Chain A
Amino acid sequence: MDLLVDGFLKAARLLFSLDREVLGITLLSLQVSGTATLISLFLGISCGTAVALTAFPGRNLVVSIINAGMALPPVVVGLFVTVFLWRNGPFGFMELLYTPAAMIIAQAIIATPIVMGITLAAMQSLPSKLRLQIMALGATRMQMLWILMQEARLPLLAAVMAGFGGVISEVGASIMVGGNIKGYSRVLTTATVMETGRGNFDVAIALSIILLFFVFLINLVLTLIQQRERPR
C-alpha cells in the first residue's frame, strides 16, 4: 500500500513540477495516440459507413473480418509492422522503424477496425426509413451522410473513445515499432514497462496514474460532447 501512496505523491510531484522528461513522454503519448485515432476515424467512419449503407455480395464476410479486427492483438500488429518496416524489409527505404511515425502507423492499424466496427453497427441501427425520408426531402448524398452521422452521434463518439482508449493503453506494438527510445519514442505505457523492469515501482505507478488521469480527461471532454442535448 505504501507503494501506491508513494506513487500517487510522485505522480503529483512530477506533474506539478513540470518534470521535462515526464512531460515529454506524456505529450508524445497524446500526440501519437491522438494522430493515430484521427487517422482511424477517417478510415473507420468512411469505410464503416460505406459498408453499412451498401449491399454487395460477400458483405457478411467483410463485416465478420471488420468485427474480428476489433480484437486485433497489438503485439501481432507490432510484429507485422516491424517486419514490414525493417531496413531490409519491403518498406525499409522509408526509414520509419523506431520512430514515432511507426508507432502512429501501428496504432492506427489497431484503432481503425475498432472505429469501423462500431460505426458499422451504429449506422445499421438507424431506422432504414430515415434514409428514404432524407432522400425524399431532396438532400444530396453528402447532406444525407452528415444527417445520418448526426443521428448516430452517440455511438460514433463511443467509437472515438474506444479507438483512442485502445491505442493510448497499448504497449506491445509501441515498444516493438518505437523501441522505447529515451526522449524520442518513449510513451507512458512503454516507460511504465521499463520502470517496472528497473524495479522503480513508484515511478511506474506515477506514470500509470498520469496515464489514467489524461485518459479520464479526454474521455470526459468526449462524453460531454456526446451527452449534450440533442439539437432539435
Chain B
Amino acid sequence: MKTISISKIFLALVVAILFMSGMSETLQAAEQKTVILATTTSTQDSGLLDVLIPLFEKKTGYFVKTISVGSGQAMAMGAKGEADVLLVHSPAAEQKLVADGFGINRRLVMHNDFIIVGPLDDPAKIKGTKSTREAFKKIAAANRLFLSRGDNSGTHAKEKDVWKAAGINQEKEKWYQQTGLGMGQTLNVAAEKKGYTLTDRATYLALKKNLGLDILNEGDAILLNIYHVIEINPVKWPKINVAGGKAFADFMVARDIQDVIKTFGVDKFGAPLFFPDAGKKVEDLGK
C-alpha cells in the first residue's frame, strides 16, 4: 500500500502549499487603489522611503508600489505611462520629460549633494582640490581607476556632466570602467578595486562602515543633487492613476513631511541625509 501513501504525501504537500499561498491576502492588496512610484535607488537604499511610504499609505489609503531603479529608467517608465509619479534626480532629463509633455507639475522636493570618494591613500592626490573639475582632471592625468555607474541614472548623468565640464573625453579610457550597477554596488566595486567614484552622499553614508573609501572632494556647486517629484500626464496615458500620483506629489512637498525629511538619518548618521526644499527655487539651493 506504499504507493497510496506516497501519493497521499504528495497531495498533502500540494494542498499545504496552495493553502499557504493565501491568495486572498494578495488579492486584497491588489484591489486597493495602487500608486506606482518610480524612483531612484538612492531614495530606497538610504531608507528614506521606508519611513515616508507607510506615512503616505496611512494618510491616504493608497497602496504604493515603489519601483526603485535608476532615474533614467524611472523616467522611461513615466514616458511610457507605466508609473503614476516619479521621484528623481536628473534635472536635464526631467526638463526634457516635461517639455515632451509626459511629465507635469514638476516640483522641487529636496536636495543633498554628490561627493567624490576614493581610496584612503588617494593615489591621484585629489584631496584638497577645491574644484571638482580639477579633481577629475587629476584622476585622468594620473590614469587612476574611476568607476562609473554607467546606467543612465541621475548620478551617472551628473558624473558625465562633470567630465564634460572638465573637458575630458573619458568614455574610451582604460582607467574608466562602467559597472552598470546601482550606487551601493558600484561603491562596493570601487572599494574592492581601490578606485574613485562619484556618489550621492546619502548612499555613501549608509554604506560607509564597510567601504574603506574616503570623501576626497565635496562642496563644489556642480555637485548639487536635486530631487524633484513629477506627475505623469494623463492626457498622454489615460490609464494613469492621476489622483494617486498627485496625492503622492502633494504629500512629498507638504510641510509636515518636509520636516520628516529634514530629520531623517540624524539619529543614525549624526547629520541629515536630505535637505527639504519645497517651495524654493533651484537657483537658491546650496547657498
A→B interface (CB under 8 Å): 27, 30-31, 34-35, 38, 86-88, 92, 95, 97-101, 150, 153, 179-182, 184, 194, 196-199, 201, 221, 225, 228-229, 231
Q: Tell me whether B270 is interfacial, beta carbon within 8 Å.
A: no
Given contacts A27-B20, A228-B6, is CB(A98)–CB(B45) below 8 Å? no
List 7 A–B pairs whose Cβ atoms lie within 8 Å, in order of A's numbering: A27-B20, A87-B82, A88-B80, A101-B26, A182-B50, A197-B184, A225-B9
Say whether B13 contacts A221, CB under 8 Å.
yes
A87-B78 Cα distance, complex, nearest whole Å: 12
Q: Tell me whether B95 is interfacial, beta carbon within 8 Å.
A: no
Given contacts A179-B66, A198-B184, A199-B207, is CB(A34)–CB(B17) below 8 Å? yes
Q: Tell me whether B215 is interfacial, beta carbon within 8 Å.
A: no
B→A interface (CB under 8 Å): 2-3, 6, 9-10, 13-14, 17-18, 20-22, 26, 29-30, 36, 41, 44-45, 47, 50, 53, 63, 65-68, 80-82, 182-185, 187-188, 206-211, 237, 239
Nearest-neighbour CB distance to chain B for A156, whole angstroms, equals 11
Say whether A199 contacts B239, CB under 8 Å.
no
Residues of A within 8 A of B50 (CB): 182
With A88-B82, A231-B6 already in contact, 5 other A-B pairs whose C-beta atoms are closer than 8 Å: A35-B17, A101-B26, A199-B188, A199-B207, A201-B210
| B14, B26, B45, B210: the one within 8 Å of A100 (CB) | B26
B77 nearest CB neighbor, chain A only:
A86
Say whether B206 contacts A228, CB under 8 Å.
no
Say whether B66 contacts A197, CB under 8 Å.
no
Say whether B3 contacts A150, CB under 8 Å.
yes
Residues of B within 8 A of A182 (CB): 50, 53, 66
Nearest-neighbour CB distance to chain B for A210, whole angstroms, equals 16
Given contacts A31-B22, A179-B65, A197-B185, is CB(A229)–CB(B2) below 8 Å? yes
A87 nearest CB neighbor, chain B only:
B239
Say whether A88 contacts B184, CB under 8 Å.
no
Residues of B within 8 A of A100 (CB): 26
Say whether A225 contacts B68, CB under 8 Å.
no
Say whether B65 contacts A34, CB under 8 Å.
no
A221-B66 Cα distance, complex, nearest whole Å: 36
Say whether B239 contacts A88, CB under 8 Å.
yes
A205-B120 Cα distance, complex, nearest whole Å: 27
A180-B224 Cα distance, complex, nearest whole Å: 29
A196-B36 Cα distance, complex, nearest whole Å: 24
Say whether B36 contacts A34, CB under 8 Å.
no
A180-B67 Cα distance, complex, nearest whole Å: 7
Given contacts A98-B36, A197-B45, is CB(A180)–CB(B10) below 8 Å? no
A147-B3 Cα distance, complex, nearest whole Å: 10
Say whether A194 contacts B44, CB under 8 Å.
yes
Residues of B within 8 A of A88 (CB): 80-82, 237, 239
A97-B17 Cα distance, complex, nearest whole Å: 23
Most-contacted residue by chain A among B10, B26, B239 (CB, 10 A): B26
Residues of B within 8 A of A86 (CB): 80, 82
B16 nearest CB neighbor, chain A only:
A34
Say whether B30 contacts A99, CB under 8 Å.
yes
A229-B3 Cα distance, complex, nearest whole Å: 10
Nearest-neighbour CB distance to chain B for A161, whole angstroms, equals 13
Say whether A231 contacts B3, CB under 8 Å.
yes
| A92, A97, A180, A229: the one within 8 Å of B68 (CB) | A180
Say whether B185 contacts A228, CB under 8 Å.
no
Residues of B within 8 A of A38 (CB): 14, 17-18
B238 nearest CB neighbor, chain A only:
A88
Nearest-neighbour CB distance to chain A for B220, whole angstroms, equals 25
| B17, B68, B184: the one within 8 Å of A31 (CB) | B17
Nearest-neighbour CB distance to chain A for B245, whole angstroms, equals 13
Say whether B65 contacts A184, CB under 8 Å.
yes
Residues of A within 8 A of B3 (CB): 150, 231
Nearest-neighbour CB distance to chain B for A181, whole angstroms, equals 5
Residues of A within 8 A of B21 (CB): 31, 34-35
Nearest-neighbour CB distance to chain A for B107, whole angstroms, equals 24
A31-B24 Cα distance, complex, nearest whole Å: 13
A179 nearest CB neighbor, chain B only:
B67
Q: Which 5 A-B pairs have the closest CB atoms?
A: A199-B207, A197-B184, A34-B17, A231-B2, A31-B21
